[in-house]
Chain A
Amino acid sequence: MSRLLRRFGIGWPLTRFATWADVIVLVAIGVVVYIGVELAGGAPAAISGPRISLAPSALPLYAALSTGRMAAAYALSLAFTLVYGYIAARNPRAERVMLPLLDVLQSVPILSFLPVVLLGLSAIMPEGIAIGLASIVLIFTSQVWNLTFAWYQSLTTIPNELREANSIFRFNAWFRLKTLELPFGAISLIWNSMMSWAGGWFFVMAAEIFTVGDRDFRLAGLGSYLQTAASKGDVYAITLGILTLVLVVVALDQLVWRPLLAWAERFKLEMVTGEMEPTSWFYDVLRSSLIVKWFSERVLRPLGERIDAWSLQHLAPDSGTSDKANRSWIGFTASAVLAVGLVYGVYRATGMLATVRPADWAEIGLGLGATLLRVSIALAIALAWTIPLGVALGTNPKLASWLQPVVQITASIPATAFFPVLLLIVIGLPGGLNIAAVLLMLMGTQWYLLFNVIAGASAVPQDLKYTALLLGLNRWQRWRTLILPALFPYVITGSITAGGGAWNASIVAEYAKFGGKTLYTTGIGSTIARATAEGAFPLLLASTMSMIVTVVLINRLFWRRLYRLAADRYRME
């Protein structure tokens, strides 16, 4: 588990609070959102969703559709990652903008883009294509950033001597990618892919069931199946839908991710044989399969040789000296054009923001406060139960051995899938949607925390535990002097991810269409959804940007400080 954490660690290489690049990045995001909002004005006033069949026989197709969407978005993410990370790692000038952009984008609540992307795309292309594409684009935005960051980090942490060996043996770009860069990044890419898929499921559920006002952006898939079932109160269909989802998630884990992890064990850099190596029954089956053997020897290997031969003829060997970014006039002109565009965009966007009424600004402020409160409550509840349980699991291998698989499967079910069910249960209670919203946030975020706490607890050195016993510390003293400080960095890392997830969830949690009724509660998520429903585009721009800026500020002002403190003071080595 501690290994898992290492791969998931959030990379914050920048130590300063903000640079000019951050400001430009935020402004640029603002302009992009503005363009989306501007496009959204042309979106059809009413969009009808497809009919969702609740027949069990429809489930395989729906599951395939949802998985297909995920796979398409993931392929896109991977391609983007390889290119973006490569450029950022090799071109110092590009890096100065690309890195802060990545940093901001990975902390921005992506769901806040959902309405803008849906409306914007449905204005410029046929509805069917637009909604399909919008869902893929959104899943992409939920999957891509951590992958890109992981790739960038692995490219920049390749040991210098391996790089030099690469140059001295005259590898060309293809050989470098194949023998050095991809293997070096493989394990981190696989772990982050798993995380991306988990995040993607959360999203595909939300993106398929988004309906506001008369616009029904529904796509046939597991998410819309669940929502329809819940809306009709069909418990049988709900159960079937959730079972199918669990089946898909578990199957992917067993047939794709575990084998990949077992296979990737060879790429680990540590020069010692590890204690616990990931294993996979399916990987063992594949390895002993004759067809696979035939395929790798007759197809893959000759193909590899062909590519190698081609690359030797067409690519120059590594020159050794690193690429120097040259200040060409093309680059200069491009940046100038971009800058002018940005300034014009800012001018137009400010114009639109100026039309937002003071009352609406007040609503945004109030909404931000309300959502912040909900996020904090969800986080507090999550901390309250995950720390005791996590410490118990992390320090008691026996307990962990039978509870861990259960926890892992539960954690892999996207919380958004449960949301309709949740609504069904709590809707009758006073403050029903409020409770449901907090619960959804909680369900989406508690697992990050739990896994982090388990990792932290199992990383406490045995020597220190013995020392605490020998010193005769009582339970409270032991927690105060040993366990809580040791957990601190892990809890912070977990809280950052969890907090981000909670903000994200607010957009689907605070505004829902259920059983023919529209439910909403005060919150920034509900403001964004309402603005979408009413076609109040200036308000949509204002609320989306407010949410983004708020989350980025909280990250920079609050979490990053704690993160640095954790990294400096409470690290166990």
Chain B
Amino acid sequence: MANQALVKLRGVTQKYDTGRKEFIAVRDVNLTVKEGEFVCLLGPSGCGKSTLLRIITGLQKPSEGKVLYRDQPVVGVNPRSTIVFQTFALFPWLTVQQNVEVALKARGVGPGERTQKALGLIDMVGLDGFETAYPRELSGGMRQKVGFARAMAVEPELLCLDEPFSALDVLSAESLRGELLELWVNGSIPTKAILMVTHNIEEAVFMSDRIVVMDKDPGRVIADVIVNLPHPRQHKSPRFAHIVDQVYATLAGQTQPEHVEMGTAPGEPGRTRALPDIQIDDLTGVIERLHEMPGRTADIFRLAEELRADSDYLLRHTEAAELLGFATLAQGDITLTPLGETFAEASILARKEIFATRIRRLPLFQWLLRMLDAADRHRLEYDVALAALELEFPPEEARRQLDTAIEWGRYAEILGYDDSTETIFRETGAAVPAAT
């Protein structure tokens, strides 16, 4: 079984230069995918897993490092790889058959052979009878089947899947996963290796032989988990649950000492801790649910199942709970702190006060409040704050950070925002502005 390596990444780094500062999307990634492997790239949004997929297929050239395919450097798009896209990327104006055929046509396959092959593939994915349908007439699951048939048409050695099931409803995703696994495990497709990007932990454990776990800020590989369970795998089996737990624990991390946890204010040396992208109502929902649990503690994986939440979504909320000091994380378990309990029991107004005192501790807020105090009439233009944050975050992320900060500040009633003048101001209700 000494399988040959198909893909080798050596010291791959991807930077984006936005003019003032460079941002690192992916840092120093080393990765090998061998023949016969089904590998998952797993991580929270923004960890650069999709970027890595594009680098491997040659759609994108990394800023640093080497990309080898069968020990040859990849130049341009690698003709022996292909991608199945999250949003299917079908041409809406072509029929199912034309969508499959066009991939063959672009490789110079003649009309007769082309049609025969396309029909065979459409049959294989179970879409016979739909050859002349347009994508808009199909359900999401069926569209993705066309995506698979099209990818198979070019007989790729390396099949890359970019969150192929995340735009589908639960049932379609489940059945499509099973069908793909069947084709793969039985060897009915000529594909030598599969590389799948996902943020769904269970999906990764269900399908792959190896999970490469990534984290963000900057995007990097933090763990490599082997999944040696026989197919077909059972979600309920203890070994399955054990691996899922293990991955959750890796991703959810541990509660850190406060100075590490909070990061530094923008403009100061060190990394500014980004505010997680959450809805405050959802956060209170998670905290209330935890509060009802025995011992005010829960296994994150179980909590995700209970709330029917996707792992990425839940991890963002546990991160926020931790950042605000409402909960602590250890070994894949989340436990409410006494403060978290108080928050869960408090009235709406009291919750706002607790929330306000907690976010005042965050360097990003301290910085924003200082800027507001120094500003004329304690008002600050949105664009000014944004420009300052863009020194710290990539432009899109900076905007999201500022929007999140404003939303949190509004909820806590320490900030206000005037949409017509696009200015942020200090709320002068309970908190008295520094009158000088």
Contacts and interface: CB of A to CB of B under 8 A. Distances in A.
Interface of A: 159, 161-162, 164-165, 167-172, 175, 179-180, 183, 266-273, 305, 308-309, 312, 317-321, 569
B57 interface: yes
B58 interface: yes
B106 interface: yes
Query: Which residue of A165, A172, A318 has the most chain B CB atoms within 10 A of its CB atom?
Result: A165
A318 B93 contact: no
A321 B106 contact: no
Given A175-B106, A271-B135, A170 B91 contact: no
Contacts of A267: 92-93
A268 B58 CA distance: 30
B92 A319 contact: no
B91 A164 contact: no
A273 B136 contact: yes
Contacts of B61: 321
Nearest to A178: B102
Nearest to A568: B419
A320 B85 contact: no
Contact of A168 (B77, B91, B94, B135): B77
B77 A319 contact: yes
A320 B102 contact: no
A303 B284 CA distance: 64
A175 B154 CA distance: 16
Query: Which residue of B58, B59, B86, B111 has the most chain A CB atoms within 10 A of its CB atom?
Result: B59
B77 A162 contact: no
20 contacts: A159-B87, A161-B87, A161-B89, A164-B59, A165-B89, A167-B59, A168-B59, A168-B82, A170-B77, A172-B106, A179-B91, A179-B102, A183-B91, A266-B134, A270-B136, A271-B135, A312-B106, A321-B61, A321-B76, A569-B420
Those 9 A-B pairs whose CB atoms lie nearest each other, nearest first:
A165-B89, A161-B89, A320-B77, A320-B59, A319-B76, A183-B93, A169-B103, A161-B85, A267-B93
Given A271-B92, A312-B106, A321-B61, 14 more contacts: A167-B59, A168-B59, A168-B81, A169-B82, A169-B103, A175-B102, A179-B94, A179-B102, A273-B136, A305-B111, A312-B108, A317-B106, A320-B58, A320-B59
B307 to A, nearest CB: 29
Nearest to A170: B106
B92 A321 contact: no
Contact of A180 (B60, B91, B108, B137): B91
B190 interface: no
A272 B138 CA distance: 9
A269 B76 contact: no
B424 interface: no
Given A165-B83, A321-B61, A171 B91 contact: no
Interface residues of B, number: 36
B351 interface: no
B136 A164 contact: no
B231 interface: no
A157 B93 CA distance: 17
Nearest to A264: B93
A347 to B, nearest CB: 35
Given A161-B89, A179-B94, A266-B134, A321 B60 contact: yes
A266 B61 CA distance: 35
Contacts of A169: 82, 102-103, 106, 150, 154
A318 B61 CA distance: 14
A271 B106 contact: no
B86 to A, nearest CB: 7
A317 B86 CA distance: 23
A401 to B, nearest CB: 28
Interface of B: 54, 57-61, 76-77, 79, 81-83, 85-89, 91-94, 102-103, 105-108, 111, 134-137, 150, 154, 419-420
A312 B104 CA distance: 12
Given A170-B79, A271-B92, A317-B106, A164 B134 contact: no
A311 to B, nearest CB: 10
Given A165-B83, A179-B94, A270-B136, A318 B77 contact: yes
A357 to B, nearest CB: 47
Given A167-B77, A171-B106, A162 B91 contact: yes
A165 B85 contact: yes
A28 B103 CA distance: 46
B43 to A, nearest CB: 20
Contacts of B150: 169
A280 to B, nearest CB: 18
A180 B134 CA distance: 15
Nearest to B154: A169
Contacts of A270: 92, 136
A164 B60 CA distance: 10
Contacts of A319: 76-77
Contacts of A165: 83, 85, 89
A164 B76 contact: no
Given A162-B89, A165-B83, A320 B60 contact: yes
Query: Which residue of A266, A270, A271, A305 has the most chain B CB atoms within 10 A of its CB atom?
Result: A271
Contact of B83 (A168, A175, A309): A168
A164 B54 contact: yes
A172 B108 CA distance: 11
A172 B105 CA distance: 11
Contacts of B92: 267-271
A180 B105 CA distance: 14
B306 to A, nearest CB: 33
Contacts of A269: 92
A169 B81 CA distance: 9
Contacts of B87: 159, 161
Contacts of A161: 85-89
A317 B106 CA distance: 9
A262 B264 CA distance: 59
B427 to A, nearest CB: 23
Contacts of B108: 309, 312
Contact of A320 (B76, B86, B111): B76
Contact of A317 (B77, B93, B136, B420): B77
